[in-house]
Structure formats: structure tokens, C-alpha cells
């Protein structure tokens, strides 16, 4: 939940989206911003592709340190601690520097950081209004995609907020399957481009539209002969815990939008957020494999793309209470022996959250899931009780 006491102007919106203005105001190397986020839960059943498991558990415990390095650079380090099946995993999620004083609206970020494709991806999961990311994120971006690389950002000098960016990443988390370890992957595997435009509607409302393209040089599946009989078992693992994308392709297209309303622009006491995204992951079948299908298995010819989308609305009717509803669908293809099985997932989610302050949230969520061909997952009603608590200084959440 983001707390604002004044109307959001295009300039403030721009600062939030570029994600340096709000974070870099006060902290310095002699006084860095240090924070921790605690995430715990109880859940009544497993969900496809989700990291939370049935029973009691911990989500991502986040430890972060950020500061202005000097008048030219800003830096941040974020470490994530997770527990799965009794094993504790520590992962470096962010370790980047970013320029603060480049001319003409340009900025460069380098190191490990969250990609800015889509709407939710550049935000940490603990800021979400639901216990898990939408199924499309879990399937195509490994919940939230962060990687080692570089970004060039440009904010145009227009009345409306307009940002454009280019990114290049190592791409390990987005690689297609390689069961035999015989593929030669490209060292720079992922390139992305995005643009986002937004502004105000009177004193009460603000909006943003975005388009993103992600090119995955290592995203196509190898021919069936190289992985026949093994893909299904591997994909079953994806339905549990995974740090990478469960479904990849060479070209990913994302369209997103968000609309926010608050009386007189004051988000502290009452506000509404409506958002949605559409994903299309195309060209996931290698050319040789595609020809093999056409020659011998025409009856099993798959759609050469995956797709997914969601639409959500979150209404905070007082400083302490909010409720949200989200519906999403996922349509994917799973390799099985020498053909593909179509998979479908539909999720309807309703959440109720109590916010004692900006730093503490207790959330109750109901999820109705209906899936086809997801191993080990049945149509079910899932209840999740979650807490998210922040210790220490923590930067303002993005728009």
C-alpha cells in the first residue's frame, strides 16, 4: 500500500516509475537505508507454479540496503532468504548501481536488477495486493524476473509522463530446457524494450499504459528426439518451486495498464486501483521440431505460443482496510514424448487486508483454481492467511 498525502502530478509519477527519485532523497553512504521484510503464511493447498506450499511456511524474507554513493550514483543490494521443503535458500536479488545526473532525461542501471517489462515486474512481491503473482507471471517470468545486465532509460520532456527503455541480460533464468546439457547458450540471452506513458485525469485520477517486448535468444525448445520422455517429469518440477520461467519462447509481448483513483489525489484514506496485463509468448518450438510435427504428427500440431492475462481491482475504503478481486487465465503447451498437451488454468482470487500502518499488513485470501493437465493439481478452493511486516527504512512503492 502506498501512502500519499497530495495529488499525484506527472512529475511525481515519473519519479516513482524511474524508481530513483523517491529512494535516493536522503540515504547516503554514511546513513544508508536498511530494511527487512518478513513474509509468513498458512495455506490450505498447493497452487500451480506457485512458490507457496500447503501448510505453514515463509515467503521471501528480504534484506535490503540502499544509499546515494555520491552526487552521481545510487546503489542498492537486496538479498532474499526462502525456505522450501526444509531447505533454506539465499539469493541475491538486486545488486546494482544507477546514475543520478545524466543529462537530457537519460539514466543507466547496471548489475543485477528487476526488469522493467510489464507493470508488476519492477515491483517487489511483498508490495502486491495478493499473496502470489498472477499465473502469467509465475509461468513466463519465474514469478518476477531479475537478472544480471544493463538498462538504458529515457524520460521524454513531454507534458505526459513518457519513459522508454532498453535492457540486455544474461538470461539464465529464461533458458529453454536442456536435459542433456548439450546446448550452447548465448552469453547475452535476453534483450527487452519497453515504453510507458501516463498522466492525470483531473485531481482524482491517474493512469498508465505500457507495451513491452522481450527477445529470448535461448527460448526455443530443442527437438523432441533430445528430450522425449523427460519433459513431463521436468515440467512437473516447475509446478513446485522454481527460480526460472516454466514456459519460454523466443518472443514475448506484454501489454499493461493501470488506473488509480483517490478523492483529491489523497491516497491515505481511500483509493481504487484497477490494473491488467496480457502476455503472449511466441515461437517456443525449434524449427526442426516443428517440421517433425508437420511430417509425422499433424494431428498433434500445437499452437506455437503460450498466453495469459489477468485483471484486478483493489479498493481501500479506509486507512486500515482494503479488499481486492483478481481473475486470470493461462493457456500453455506442455511437451510430452513426441507431442504437446494443452494446459489451461483459471484463477479467481478475493483478498481482504488489514493495514495497521504502512509497515504491517495481515491478509486473508480465497482462491478458486480450475486447471487442466497440470500434474498433481486439481480444481480446488484455497485459503491463504499471510502477514507482511517491514522493519527499518523502506522506499516508497512505485506507481
| Of 380, 271, 314, 359, nearest in space to 37 by CA | 359
Q: Is 98 exposed, middle or buried (0-12, 13-18, 19+ CB in 10 A)?
A: buried
* Residue 341: predicted pLDDT: 80
Cα(196)–Cα(209) distance, integer angstroms:
6
Q: Which domains does the chain have, with CATH numbers?
A: 10-392 (2.40.160.10)
Q: How far is CA 48 from CA 54, 96, 330, 351, in A?
A: 12, 32, 11, 19
β-partners of residue 271 are: 316
* Residue 374: predicted pLDDT: 78
| Of 168, 49, 52, nearest in space to 108 by CA | 168
Cα(394)–Cα(38) distance, integer angstroms:
13
* Residue 284: predicted pLDDT: 86
pLDDT block averages, 10 residues each, the chain of length 399: 39 41 55 92 92 91 94 95 83 96 96 97 95 96 96 96 97 85 87 97 95 96 53 42 82 98 88 97 73 47 85 96 97 79 93 94 97 78 97 74
* Residue 376: predicted pLDDT: 66
* Residue 299: predicted pLDDT: 46
Q: Which cell numbers in the block locate residue 120?
A: 508488476
Query: Long-range contacts: 354-360, Cβ < 8 Å, 24+?
Result: 354/320, 354/321, 355/1, 355/316, 355/319, 355/320, 355/321, 355/322, 356/320, 358/1, 358/3, 358/390, 359/389, 359/390, 359/391, 359/394, 360/387, 360/388, 360/389, 360/390
| Of 306, 308, 303, 304, nearest in space to 285 by CA | 304
**170 close to 186: Cβ distance less than 8 angstroms:** no
Tell me which H or E stretch contains 112: strand 106-114
For residue range 297-320, list pLDDT tens digits in order: 444 456 789 999 999 999 999 999
* Residue 396: predicted pLDDT: 65
For residue range 50-91, list pLDDT tens digits in order: 889 899 999 999 999 999 999 999 999 999 998 877 788 899
Mention every residue, 6+ apart, whose C-beta is less than 8 A from residue 158.
none
Q: Which cell numbers in the block locate residue 361?
A: 499488513
Global pTM value:
0.85
* Residue 224: predicted pLDDT: 55
Q: C-alpha 78: how far from its chain's center?
A: 16
Q: Is 53 exposed, middle or buried (0-12, 13-18, 19+ CB in 10 A)?
A: middle
* Residue 340: predicted pLDDT: 80
| Max CA pair span of the chain | 67
Amino acid at each position: 500500500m502506498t501512502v500519499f498525502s497530495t495529488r499525484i502530478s506527472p512529475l511525481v509519477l515519473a519519479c516513482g516509475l524511474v524508481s530513483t527519485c523517491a529512494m535516493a532523497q536522503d540515504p547516503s553512504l554514511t546513513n544508508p537505508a536498511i530494511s527487512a521484510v518478513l513474509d509468513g503464511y498458512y495455506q490450505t493447498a498447493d497452487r500451480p507454479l506457485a512458490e507457496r506450499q500447503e501448510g505453514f511456511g515463509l515467503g521471501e524474507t528480504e534484506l535490503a540496503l540502499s544509499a546515494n554513493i555520491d552526487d552521481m550514483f545510487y546503489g542498492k543490494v537486496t538479498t532474499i532468504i526462502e525456505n522450501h521443503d526444509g531447505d533454506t535458500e539465499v539469493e541475491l536479488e538486486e545488486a546494482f548501481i544507477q546514475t543520478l545526473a545524466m543529462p537530457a532525461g537519460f539514466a543507466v542501471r547496471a548489475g543485477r536488477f528487476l526488469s522493467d517489462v510489464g507493470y508488476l515486474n519492477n515491483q517487489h512481491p511483498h508490495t502486491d495486493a495478493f499473496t502470489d503473482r498472477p499465473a502469467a507471471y509465475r509461468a513466463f517470468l519465474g514469478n518476477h524476473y531479475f537478472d544480471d545486465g544493463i538498462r538504458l532509460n529515457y524520460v521524454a520532456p513531454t507534458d505526459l509522463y513518457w519513459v522508454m527503455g532498453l535492457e540486455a541480460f544474461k538470461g539464465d533464468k529464461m533458458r529453454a530446457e536442456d536435459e542433456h546439457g548439450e546446448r550452447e547458450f548465448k552469453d547475452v540471452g535476453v534483450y527487452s524494450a519497453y515504453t510507458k506513458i501516463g498522466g492525470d485525469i483531473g485531481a482524482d485520477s491517474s493512469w498508465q499504459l505500457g507495451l513491452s517486448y522481450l527477445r529470448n535468444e535461448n527460448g526455443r525448445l530443442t527437438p523432441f528426439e533430445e528430450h522425449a520422455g523427460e519433459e513431463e517429469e521436468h515440467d512437473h518440477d516447475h509446478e513446485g518451486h522454481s527460480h526460472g520461467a516454466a514456459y519460454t519462447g523466443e518472443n514475448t509481448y506484454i501489454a499493461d495498464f493501470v488506473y488509480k483513483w483517490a478523492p483529491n489525489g489523497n491516497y491515505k484514506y481511500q483509493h481504487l486501483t484497477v490494473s491488467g496485463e496480457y502476455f503472449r509468448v511466441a515461437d517456443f518450438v525449434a524449427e526442426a521440431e516443428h517440421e517433425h510435427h508437420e511430417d509425422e504428427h499433424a494431428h498433434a500440431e500445437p499452437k506455437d505460443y503460450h498466453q495469459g492475462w489477468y485483471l484486478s481491482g483493489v479498493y481501500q475504503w479506509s486507512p486500515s482496510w482494503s479488499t481486492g478481486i483478481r481473475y486470470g487465465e493461462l493457456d500453455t503447451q506442455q511437451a510430452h514424448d513426441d507431442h504437446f498437451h494443452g494446459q489451461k488454468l483459471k484463477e479467481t482470487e478475493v483478498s481482504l487486508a488489514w493495514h495497521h500502518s504502512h509497515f504491517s499488513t495481515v491478509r486473508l485470501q480465497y482462491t478458486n483454481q480450475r486447471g487442466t493437465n497440470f500434474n498433481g493439481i486439481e480444481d480446488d478452493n484455497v485459503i491463504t492467511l499471510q502477514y507482511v511486516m517491514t522493519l527499518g527504512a523502506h522506499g516508497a512503492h512505485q506507481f
